[in-house]
Amino acid sequence: MTTQQTVKVQLVRSPISTPQSHRATVRGLGLRKLRSISELQDTPAVRGMINKISYLVKVL
């Protein structure tokens, strides 16, 4: 059995004054409040979402 690689993402800036698509991306990653952490599978789709909102999140 191979284990899936995971990536932890933390929301460090508020998405209040950001474009609607960026707010939707934050929600799509499972992040709600500031400093919330979400552990996701490391796929190209997730990496693209992280790259899109890189100014709002921190990869742990």
Q: Which 3 state secondary structure label does DSSP give 29?
A: coil
CB atoms near residue 7 (< 10 Å): 15
Q: What is the pLDDT of residues 5-51, one digit of tens each?
A: 999 999 999 999 999 999 999 999 999 999 999 999 999 999 999 99
Bridge partners, residue 59, by sequence: 9
Over 60: is that where the pLDDT of 1 sits? no
Rounded to two decimals, the pTM is: 0.89
Can you give the length of the chain in residues? 60
The pLDDT, as a whole number, for residue 3 is 76
* Amino acid code (one letter) for 6: T
**Which structure tokens are listed for 28?**
């799509």
